[in-house]
């Protein structure tokens, strides 16, 4: 493991990821961007990853932090997930679908809402698999 040069930069003040990236916290009102990476908090020890980054005990490649099989970026002093074990990358529609499943589960109500939103079955099924993985 590469440890960064302590004099090169201050990682100790980096903030943890925003809750919009916690898969279980996504709601219908969450801000959906074109690309959204969400974290399965049951599978990922975010605190340990963040502490390793703050301590500089990570590989830094192209200004991204590689730690424990995951990659994080940072913007304005806040970390965000990019890819890796326990991370899911969703497009805007998929992120919104996750918000519906988080609120209503795999229910008739969620199916009706998703139908009203015009969400296709392929998208629904992809996100349903993620939702079920999150709720094991």
Which tens digit of pLDDT belongs to each residue from 6-44? Answer: 444 679 999 999 999 999 999 999 999 999 999 999 999
Summarised one tens digit per residue, pLDDT across range 69-123 is 999 999 999 999 999 999 999 999 999 999 999 999 999 999 999 999 999 999 9
Say what the pLDDT of residue 10 is.
79
Is the pLDDT confidence value at 4 over 70? no
What CA–CA distance (Å, rounded) separates 21 from 131?
14
Give helix then strand counts, H and E, for the chain.
Answer: 4, 6
100/59 Cα distance (integer angstroms): 36
CA 15 to mean position of chain CA atoms: 15
Residues β-bridged to residue 32: none
51 in Cβ contact with 11 (< 8 Å):
no
Whole-structure pTM value: 0.89
């Amino acid at each position: 493991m590469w440890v960064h040069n302590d004099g090169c930069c201050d990682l100790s003040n980096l903030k943890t990821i925003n809750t919009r990236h916690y898969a279980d916290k996504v709601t219908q009102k969450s801000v959906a961007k074109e690309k959204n990476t969400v974290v399965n908090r049951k599978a990922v020890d975010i605190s340990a990853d963040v502490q390793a980054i703050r301590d500089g005990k990570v590989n830094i490649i192209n200004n991204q932090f590689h730690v424990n099989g995951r990659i994080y970026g940072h913007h304005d002093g806040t970390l965000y997930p990019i890819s890796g074990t326990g991370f899911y990358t969703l497009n805007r529609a998929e992120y919104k679908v996750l918000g519906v499943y988080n609120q209503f589960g795999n229910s008739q109500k969620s199916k009706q809402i998703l139908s009203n939103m015009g969400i296709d079955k392929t998208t629904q099924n992809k996100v349903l698999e993620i939702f079920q993985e999150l709720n094991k």
